[in-house]
A and B are shown apart, each in its own frame.
Chain A
């Protein structure tokens, strides 16, 4: 039976059933993490882009993602204090606020969203994929935790292609540097068949995720692929890829979304089902987390649905065909890392955004430029101009930050969005008049 829309806590926030299920999964995972000292489970910290969860699970390690912790701190309005704590300790105001939120949180006792202390990691798996800051972030954490640190470099896809040299380099690193240290830290011998099984499960969930993401092509779109998309990518970008839980969740989500398509419904927002889809947008860049709900409200109040986004591809570009392949276990992990959105060159990113605008029949592109994130942000003004030129659709630019509340100016963002929606209207009426 299809789940109906239910009210979640707090009572004024409406969520669909899959969102509640996702929250429960995340809560369960945080409990597992914080209970690790009691259960004896060992913890591996790593990153979302280049997350090798299938491999980590082969060693019975629990996956901890500092980016996700920073997001949770942002959503809970704690990151501002953490960022300032890190800045007081000497970290520059100019650098990534995920890093500073994480370090500030560590300085304040490393309290997880469940109110319990996160354990120190037993190993740092520095998957250097698509973001230079990762490299320094884990050097900073290594200085504090003094635990084994495994380095895995993903070469940048600068020429828009994956070369054999890149894949061989990554496979060698996995064989020689990554797997032996994970064996040593965990005390578990590597079993390639276990990895294959995890990869097989990943691919099943990835099929359903793609179905959900591509449902944005419907009119109205049954999903918001940016704000709602954050919930949808949580399990597969985090600690659940390669698990039965992920398979169950994405099947459940798919059915829920299909049900909405059948009923001609739009996405569920925190204020209830979306009334009318007036604008269909493609969004480039991460969201702001400190004012997440307020930010989203600026869209749905205007009838704007995000039908596709680049941010939901930072943990894998599955909608471009990639699936984890159990028959080529190490190569597929390499190709997964190589293909993530932030590891793609600017021309590839532009192609992707233009494809989204055309295939999802969007009204235009909105770029949320994040002060903290040069990997995303450097070049976005050129991206905007190029996408506008190629698609003929209007584009707009707003600036916020990931988890630093000082860089979210609600009035400025709202003004810009309102102007943008007017621009879309004008473009439409201009097109109508021409027709």
Chain B
């Protein structure tokens, strides 16, 4: 069988991205009686536990720019970001009526409070605020986190009507390790030859993993990487940049395309961090909850939603991302009214100044439609980097 082309794969991924009825997940559920789907919001949840329960983890990243928010705005003041209102819209409009549970990870006060709103609005559906430790000692944060995961596992067992064994979780960790390796491979490919795997395509292919079963998504990733390597694509005189601040409310696809059109190769980002939150393989033998906690505490990504205990380490993840991807600058793209990203930004900018890394900043919403200002700003940024480099 011939490998599909990048265009075929991206077209499939874009269909999934645009489908706000989540047909793929609905079909998966319908295929066998008793199947369950558990939705989750950004930034991170241990999907392995849901998978081990025989359920489908379904990433809900808001409604994007294709969803008309009719009811959701009635729940929020104008100064609150868009992702909670579009998520409520998805819920009250029945688009999530097949979902058996919703998880609200610890990221900010808006998503935290949305967990309580969900309990009020959908009292018959399981919902959980998924708390994680912000302290990283094994005996303190680790023990707490194992306790939280144990409680979540028990909840899933009740929903599934069966127990979830350690062996089953270890088997799921193995499947997700494979998926994380492929996501990393795609990021490495994009950093090395960004014209072969543009950010707008990589975004769609990785995002497909939020709605597909992980095994199917891993096949898609493998096929895309192989096809992207094989195809000849023109090299542009673009500037390599890292984009940061987009870890929760996702940018419209047009925003990523606009950055590319303005002369940027996005070689690293913080889109959909759940796909690569844990860095490297998680151990697949022994106590799986302990192993997942170890990975979370000691081998996980950094983002503004996390506390950094070490002042010297503050922002260094961004400097490392620039260096390892060969980027020449950083674009801070934050959602309007995003407390974590906007409060963190001045500190990260100070770190970049100290490291002599140029940056710009702008804000967006998931339904931003006017891209011309962003394109002009990014284009000017790229030009200035080129001028500096030439000097």
Contact = CB atoms under 8 A, between A and B. Distances in A.
Interface string A242-263: 0000000000000000000000
B349 A345 contact: no
Contact of B307 (A151, A382, A386): A151
A377 B338 CA distance: 14
Interface in A120-155: 126, 128, 131-133, 135-137, 139-140, 142-143, 146, 149, 151, 153, 155
A192 interface: no
A380 B109 CA distance: 13
A387 B58 CA distance: 33
Contacts of B283: none
Given A156-B131, A173-B135, A139 B307 contact: yes
A89 B363 CA distance: 17
A96 interface: yes
Given A95-B343, A99-B343, A136-B343, A377 B134 contact: no
Among A94, A166, A377, which residue has the most Cβ atoms of chain B within 10 A? A94
Interface stretch (B110-118, B182-190, B250-258, B260-268): B110-118
B112 A156 contact: yes
Given A165-B147, A374-B109, A379-B114, A92 B345 contact: yes
A139 B311 CA distance: 8
Contact of B119 (A139, A345, A381): A345
Contacts of B345: 90, 92
Contacts of A139: 307-308, 314, 344, 347
Contacts of B84: 378
Contacts of B109: 131-133, 374-375, 378
A133 B143 contact: no
Interface in B336-353: 336-340, 342-347, 349-350
Secondary structure class of chain B's binding surface, majority of residues: helix
Interface string B128-150: 11010111010111011001100
A377 B75 CA distance: 11
B77 interface: yes
A346 interface: yes
Contacts of A156: 106, 112, 129, 131
A350 interface: yes
A128 B144 contact: no
A371 interface: yes
A379 B117 contact: yes
A90 B346 contact: yes
Contact of A172 (B76, B134, B139): B139
B191 to A, nearest CB: 28
Contacts of A137: 343
A377 B77 contact: yes
Given A169-B143, A378-B109, A94 B336 contact: yes
A136 B304 contact: yes
B199 to A, nearest CB: 25
Contacts of A37: none
A218 interface: no
A172 B140 contact: yes
Contact of B140 (A132, A146, A173, A347): A173
Contact of B113 (A89, A166, A346): A346
Contacts of A350: 120
Contacts of B75: 379, 381-382
Contacts of B337: 94, 374
Interface in A73-92: 89-92
A335 to B, nearest CB: 16
B11 interface: no
B309 interface: yes
Contact of B346 (A140, A149, A346, A382): A140
Interface residues of B, number: 57
B74 interface: yes
Max chain B Cβ within 10 angstroms of own Cβ: one of A153, A159, A172, A369: A153
B151 interface: yes
A158 interface: yes
A207 interface: no
A349 B116 CA distance: 10
Contacts of A133: 109, 339, 343
Nearest to A90: B346
B172 to A, nearest CB: 23
Contact of B342 (A94, A126, A347, A375): A94
B273 interface: no
A197 interface: no
A177 interface: yes
A361 interface: no
A128 B135 CA distance: 11
B129 A158 contact: yes
A374 B341 CA distance: 14
B311 A143 contact: yes
Contacts of B129: 156, 158-159, 345
Given A139-B344, A155-B131, A374-B337, 20 more contacts: A95-B342, A95-B343, A126-B307, A128-B307, A136-B339, A139-B314, A149-B309, A151-B134, A151-B309, A153-B141, A173-B140, A176-B139, A346-B113, A374-B108, A374-B113, A375-B113, A379-B113, A382-B75, A382-B120, A382-B121
4 shortest interchain CB distances as A-B pairs: A346-B116, A158-B129, A136-B343, A165-B147
Interface of B: 74-77, 79-80, 84, 106, 108-110, 112-117, 119-121, 128-129, 131, 133-135, 137, 139-141, 143-144, 147-148, 151, 304-305, 307-309, 311, 314, 334, 336-340, 342-347, 349-350, 363
Interface of A: 89-92, 94-96, 99, 126, 128, 131-133, 135-137, 139-140, 142-143, 146, 149, 151, 153, 155-156, 158-159, 163, 165-166, 168-169, 172-173, 176-177, 345-347, 349-350, 369, 371, 374-375, 377-382, 386, 399
19 contacts: A95-B339, A133-B343, A136-B340, A136-B343, A149-B311, A156-B112, A168-B147, A169-B133, A173-B140, A177-B140, A345-B116, A347-B119, A374-B110, A375-B109, A378-B84, A379-B117, A381-B74, A381-B76, A382-B117
